[in-house]
Chains A and B, each alone.
Chain A
Amino acid sequence: MVKFEARNITKNYQHEKYQVEALGGINLKVNEGDFVCIVGPSGCGKSTFLRIAAGLENPDEGQILFAGKQVTGTGPERIMVFQEGALFPWLKVSDNVEFGLKIAGVPKEKRSEISSRYLDMMQLTKFADSYTYQLSTGMKQRVAIARALAMDPDVLLMDEPFAALDAQTRDLLLVEMQLIWEKTKKTILFVTHNVAEAVVLGNKVVLFSNRPGVVKKEFSIDASRPRLLEDESLLKFQQQILAELRPEVRKTSR
């Protein structure tokens, strides 16, 4: 069943005197429970596409459909995890996780129950009363994921959430992310510039072309889980994707 669909999404930016065509008509269908990784050359509009999917920006043309119905603006069924986490420094970790629930008017008792469940899942229980500056980058991203999961969205939108992590922390989170996906059965759209990361996480990888971004090709990654970055079975997928990605990256440097 198609859970999320983008139909002919275009987006242009006025950049001082000239116009930048960021997205040139994105068509994408995501089935319920899919883990879709979006890769593409930098500046291809993949993050813009994710913001449009979240309803944080409006497309110039085209529609976003959720469960077959067009949606505009933000909604609790599509929740985003930002690159730098975007955790609120004025709130404790547990209050960060409860933020969306508080906005929605969920009573305090229910909120703490939900937040402690997700903090437990992310192994953060000890840090519930910490402030965000006391956390490492990896822990911050775990909190950001817990905060998104606490909203119980149908679609999780992740914008290069592991880009700022050191290699070892990223390695851990790549495994954790697969376990979370299996446990929660969420539909996930995950933007990354890292092909190795994409083939570890996704059961599908979508390749965006150079600007203006369109979907150049989709790949199915049929390999057993949990996967690791160094798995040999993933190499052929990486090679296939990189072969298509390189010409696009070359275009950006011309």
Chain B
Amino acid sequence: MNILSKMTGKKIAFYIIFVAVWQLVASVDIWPNTIFPSPFEVAEDLVYSAADGSLFFGIGTSMWRLVVGLAIAILGGMILGIFMARVEVVNQTIGSLVLGLQSIPSVAWVPLAIVWFGLTDAGIIFVTAVGAIFAVTINTYSGVKNIDPNYIAAARNMGAKGGQLITEVLIPAAFPYMISGFKQGWAFAWRGVIGAELLFSFLGLGFLLNVGRQLSDVSLVIAIMLVVMGIGILIDGFVFKRIENNVMSRWGLR
């Protein structure tokens, strides 16, 4: 507890200094305020957009798209990864394609998304899901491949096969790997949502970024960027870290 409070103390000190230096640089007037706003102006825009509700509406819209896209990616990635790990033919064929597809940045799917789905939520969700699915697939694959063969032998010996083998053994045994796949997948998905919204959406945080740019409202742009970052930190810390800690302590890996 002492160490923890020491660490948060250092963090708080760092951010106070960071904001102070920012304020200082902004007030020296090297650049005009329209290009380099002060932290006070950014905070003001944050408060305005919160007060008129547009911020929360943007957050809600982006989160909804993220959750649906990520759910599709996690489900699809797990199924694909398990098949790749258990069926050699699938690994040799689809597996090689997955490695290639993983190297495509999610925004590169935007043109296809527009052609296939139009300027709709489905298009954004498509970009989100496709950006995250291969990270989940590859981690699930490694996880299942690395299962102690004795676990599978013992389970088969006790009568587990087919769907039961998957849900009762393969998924829980591969979970420590899969959780890092989910973490990577979520990070890719979040980038994908914001990127896609920036390029072709109405509504959502990415759209608000675009509004800020069009109005030359740099403080709004920075405010929204801070929100995107803040949500990232919160989800990572409160959702994935928790699941990870839970699994790791149960396995005695921590």
Chain A residues in contact with chain B, CB under 8 A?
51, 54-56, 74, 76, 78-80, 82, 84, 86, 88-91, 99-100, 102-104, 131-134, 147, 151
Interface stretch of the complex, out of B65-73, B156-164, B209-217? B156-164
C-alpha gap A98/B172 in the complex (Å) = 16
Question: Is A56 a contact partner of B169 (Cβ separation < 8 A)?
Answer: no
- In this complex, how many residues of chain B approach chain A with their Cβ under 8 Å: the count is 22
Question: Is A56 a contact partner of B157 (Cβ separation < 8 A)?
Answer: yes
Partner of B168, one of A55, A84, A86, A103: A103
Question: Is B250 a contact partner of A131 (Cβ separation < 8 A)?
Answer: yes
Question: Is B156 a contact partner of A90 (Cβ separation < 8 A)?
Answer: no
Identify whether the interface residues of B are mostly helix, strand, loop, or mixed: helix
Least CB separation from B160: chain A residue: A103
C-alpha gap A134/B254 in the complex (Å) = 12
B251 at the interface (CB under 8 A from A): yes
Contacts of A56 in B (CB 8 A): 153, 156-157
Partner of B252, one of A55, A84, A88, A133: A133
Least CB separation from B148: chain A residue: A86
C-alpha gap A89/B173 in the complex (Å) = 8
Q: Contacts A86-B151, A90-B251, A131-B250: A74 and B173 contacting too (C-beta < 8 A)?
A: no
Question: Is A86 a contact partner of B150 (Cβ separation < 8 A)?
Answer: yes
Contacts of B151 in A (CB 8 A): 86, 88
B187 at the interface (CB under 8 A from A): no
Question: Is A88 a contact partner of B172 (Cβ separation < 8 A)?
Answer: yes
Partner of B250, one of A51, A55, A78, A89: A89
Least CB separation from A78: chain B residue: B157
The 5 A-B residue pairs with the shortest CB-CB distance, nearest first, are A133-B252, A100-B158, A86-B150, A90-B172, A86-B154
Question: Is B154 a contact partner of A103 (Cβ separation < 8 A)?
Answer: no
Least CB separation from A157: chain B residue: B157
C-alpha gap A80/B251 in the complex (Å) = 23
B200 at the interface (CB under 8 A from A): no
Question: Is B156 a contact partner of A100 (Cβ separation < 8 A)?
Answer: no
Question: Is A103 a contact partner of B159 (Cβ separation < 8 A)?
Answer: yes
A128 to chain B, nearest CB (A): 15
Contacts of B159 in A (CB 8 A): 74, 76, 100, 103-104
Least CB separation from A84: chain B residue: B150
Residues 187-219 of B at the A interface (beta carbon under 8 Å): none
A239 to chain B, nearest CB (A): 35
B175 at the interface (CB under 8 A from A): yes
B114 at the interface (CB under 8 A from A): no
- Give 5 pairs: A residue, B residue, CB < 8 Å, sorted on A: A54-B157, A76-B159, A80-B153, A86-B151, A131-B252
B155 at the interface (CB under 8 A from A): yes
C-alpha gap A76/B161 in the complex (Å) = 13
Q: Contacts A84-B150, A88-B151: A99 and B156 contacting too (C-beta < 8 A)?
A: no
A90 to chain B, nearest CB (A): 4
A88 to chain B, nearest CB (A): 6
Least CB separation from A88: chain B residue: B151
Contacts of B150 in A (CB 8 A): 82, 84, 86
Least CB separation from B169: chain A residue: A88
Contacts of A84 in B (CB 8 A): 150
Contacts of A88 in B (CB 8 A): 151, 154, 169, 172-173
Question: Is B252 a contact partner of A82 (Cβ separation < 8 A)?
Answer: no
Question: Is A86 a contact partner of B153 (Cβ separation < 8 A)?
Answer: yes
Question: Is A80 a contact partner of B154 (Cβ separation < 8 A)?
Answer: yes
Question: Is A90 a contact partner of B158 (Cβ separation < 8 A)?
Answer: no
Least CB separation from B172: chain A residue: A90
C-alpha gap A2/B186 in the complex (Å) = 59
